[in-house]
Chain A
Amino acid sequence: MISCTEFIPAYNELFKFLERRGGKDAVVKFWENLSDSFLTKLRDLAAKKGLTGCFEYWQNVLTEESADFRMTLDEENGLFEIRMRYCPSMGRLIETTHIEPYRFYCEHCDTLYRRVLEPLGFEYHIDLSSSRQAKCLITVRLPPARFKTKKPRKTKK
């Protein structure tokens, strides 16, 4: 059994494997497929509860991943953000000295979550400028015209 504690290196090595076969396009295609098929919990929570659903989803995931972060939900201003002080995934890859982090590793968080949240009407932004230090900032907003109603758009899925 590949332990869930060993998944991140397996994920990282998969990206390199796919890139060797089909370039970065093959990696992005996989991320898109994974977003569509695996991120149903986030999609359902965000569609049903809006930014509160985003908070609930990442509260569960980031505590189970033992992340070092500050997460803020400001419902009045239609804003949810995650300030990742030390990402458990990239952090582990940096600490695992016998394998190299895939050069575009952190971009999976852009593709996976953007693909779920933007079709639901959220604005999604991720700042990866410090990702090589295992830090990033994710911001999810409801457009001003919508956050006053506090209702997410219904998803077709």
Chain B
Amino acid sequence: MNTSSDKIKVLDCSAGDNEYLHKDFHGALCYIIKYLDEVYGAETLEEYLEQLAKSYYSPLIEKLKEKALPALENHWKDIFTREGGKFSLHYENNTLVLNVDECPAIAHLKKTGQFFTHRYCQTTVVVNKTICHEAGYDCTCQYEPGRGRCVQKFWKP
């Protein structure tokens, strides 16, 4: 920080000075879920998440079609590592299994005392399902709401 006088405080940062990791965005997503559920209903939340998966995650859908399950494996490895989640990835026959022992999003929201909705994990369920179906794959996500643990499986039928 640059302080040019006792009365004036200046903070000047360049884009590369800090890592891009604003975990409070998980809290904002919880408010989005709550808002859509309360104002428009549960089906609208699913519709929004499906459209998000088809638009924003279209490059991942294409990678899954081209490179098969390693594309998803790399995706999960990248985001869970960056966010400091406790997780493991392995294959059972032709199924990719993602074990999340501590979801970094839920851990952050609980640690900071932010609003959390038990519908949060539906974002994973719906986005995963849409990405997989678009690419000709299938998936499951087993979780107990609010625990911050889940088992996600991905395979080609």
Q: Which residues of A contact B (CB under 8 A)?
A: 1-11, 13-14, 17, 21, 30, 33-34, 37-38, 55, 59, 61-76, 86, 88, 91, 96, 98-99
Set of chain B residues within 8 Å of A38, measured between Cβ atoms: 27-28, 31, 115
Mark B109-127 against chain A: 1 for CB-CB distance below 8 A, else 0: 0000001000000011001
Contacting pair B9 A72 (CB below 8 A): yes
Closest to B38 in A: A33
State the 9 A-B residue pairs at the shortest beta-carbon distance, nearest first: A7-B25, A66-B20, A64-B22, A3-B79, A4-B25, A68-B15, A73-B9, A76-B7, A71-B11
Contacts of A96 in B (CB 8 A): 56
Chain B residues in 8 Å Cβ range of A66: 15-20
Q: Which of the candidate stretches B47-55, B65-73, B89-97 sits at the interface with the other chain?
A: B47-55
- Distance (whole angstroms) from the CB of B102 to the closest CB of chain A: 11
For A5, the chain B residues whose CB sits under 8 A away are 20-21, 79, 82-83
- What are 9 A-B pairs at a CB distance below 8 A? A5-B79, A7-B29, A37-B31, A38-B27, A61-B24, A65-B20, A68-B14, A98-B55, A98-B56
Point out the residues of chain B lying under 8 angstroms from A33, CB to CB: 31, 35
- Per DSSP, chain A at the interface is helix
Q: Please, which residues of chain A bring their CB within 8 A of the CB of B144?
A: none
| B31→A4 contact, CB < 8 A | no
**B142 touches A (CB below 8 Å):** no
B151 at the interface (CB under 8 A from A): no
Is B86's CB within 8 Å of the partner chain A? no
**What's the Cα separation between A76 and B19 when bound, in Å?**
33
Is A6 touching B17 in the complex (CB atoms < 8 A)?
A: no
A13 and B48 alpha carbons, distance in the complex (Å): 8
Contacts of A63 in B (CB 8 A): 13, 17-18
A3 in complex: contacting residue of B10, B15, B83, CB < 8 Å: B83
- A5 CB, nearest partner CB in chain B, Å: 6
Chain B residues near A34: list those with CB within 8 A: 28, 31-32, 35
